[in-house]
Structure 1
Amino acid sequence: MLNPIEVILICLVAQAAVTDLALRKIPNVLILSGLLLALMLHMLGGLHWAPLTQWAAGSVAGLFLFLPLYLLRGMAAGDVKLMAMVGSFVGPLMALKVAVLATLIGGLMGLLMLLFNGRWREGWRNVVAISKPLLLRSLGMPLQAVPLAPGASVGGMPYGLAIALATIAVVALAHR
């Protein structure tokens, strides 16, 4: 049986997924209300340290798990903030599980989108362009990162859907 915090989280991530699919944007008001709601629910839960250990640590973990992808321009800021909100509900350990599963689901979604759009060659070229300087730098060669050319993106992806599916799966599997 799902507890009330999990039911509210599932409703919030479902709304984020629907909005991301329709508008390719996750509203800040949804993220902020989710963060505040999670804090209030943890405070009402009765555990003395829950706001610190679950809410704060979970939201920071969720934020920093996807922040590198945002900084590499592989993900939008709304997706990073959504993951922080998910972490505020479930805590840092489950946030890590959700992030790993969301990455796998998102990778599969991305591959399917590239195949169905017929843009897999451009996508592969972008991966090589981003990875080559990182690989050469790790081998000791002093190189600057080469930004992608303007318009080199092969399209956006509603990553909120991947986060929502991963959240629902992790929460459901916790009750197995």
Structure 2
Amino acid sequence: MLNSIEVILICLVAQAAITDLALRKIPNVLILSGLLLALMLHIMGGQHWAPVTDWLAGSLAGFFLFLPLYALRGMAAGDVKLMAMVGAFVGPLAALQVAALATLIGGVMALVMLLFSGRWRDGWRNLVTICRPLLWRCLGMPVQPVPLEPGASVGGIPYGLAIALATMAVVVLAHR
């Protein structure tokens, strides 16, 4: 049986996924209210250190797990903040599990979207362009990274959906 914190979290990530699908944006008010709600629920939970060990550590873990993807322009800021909110509810270990599963789900979503849009060749070309300097550098050649051409993106994915599905899976499977 799911507890109240988990039910609230599932409702919040479901709303984030719906908004991300419809508007391609996750509202800051949803993230902020989720963070504050998680803090209040941890404080009211009665465990003395829960606000630090679960809320703070979880939100930092969630935030820093996806921050490199944002820095590499592979993810939007709303997705990073959503993962921080999820971490605030579930704690750092479960945040790591959610992030790993969301990465897998997001990868599958990206492949499906590339196949259905017919832009898989463009996606493959971009991947080769990005990875070629890394390969040359691993072989000992001092090569500078080559940026993608403007407009070379093959599109983004609603990563809020991947985070929501991963969160739901981790929360539900924790009770099996």
Q: Which residue of 1 aligns with 2:153?
A: 153
Q: Which residue of 2 aligns with 1:77?
A: 77
Deviations 1:79-103, CA, capped at 9 Å, x for gaps? 1110010001000100000001000
Counterpart Cα distance in 2 of 1:21 and 1:44: 33
Q: Which residue of 1 aligns with 2:66?
A: 66
User: What 5-or-longer segments of structure 1 have no aligned partner?
Assistant: none
Deviations 1:12-36, CA, capped at 9 Å, x for gaps? 0000000000000000110111111
Q: Which residue of 1 aligns with 2:41?
A: 41
Q: Which residue of 1 aligns with 2:21?
A: 21
Q: How does 1:22-171 map to 2 (within 5 A)?
A: 22-171=22-171
Counterpart Cα distance in 2 of 1:171 and 1:38: 15
Deviations 1:27-80, CA, capped at 9 Å, x for gaps? 011011111111111111111111111011101110111111111111111111
Counterpart Cα distance in 1 of 2:87 and 2:10: 13
Q: TM-score, normalised on structure 2?
A: 0.97
Q: TM-score, normalised on structure 1?
A: 0.97
Give the 4+ runs in structure 1 shifted more than 6 A: none
CA RMSD of aligned residues (A): 1.0
Aligned length: 176
- Give the C-alpha shift of residue 104 in structure 1: 0.5
- Give the C-alpha shift of residue 127 in structure 1: 1.1
Secondary structure, counterpart of 2:155 in structure 1: coil
- Give the C-alpha shift of residue 112 in structure 1: 0.2
Aligned amino acid, residue 119 of structure 1: R
Aligned amino acid, residue 116 of structure 2: F
Deviations 1:118-144, CA, capped at 9 Å, x for gaps? 000000111111122223333433222
Counterpart Cα distance in 2 of 1:138 and 1:11: 45
Q: Which residue of 2 aligns with 1:8?
A: 8
- Percent identical among aligned pairs is 82
Counterpart Cα distance in 2 of 1:32 and 1:164: 17
Counterpart Cα distance in 2 of 1:137 and 1:84: 34
User: What 5-or-longer segments of structure 2 have no aligned partner?
Assistant: none
Secondary structure, counterpart of 1:96 in structure 2: helix
Counterpart Cα distance in 2 of 1:72 and 1:135: 18
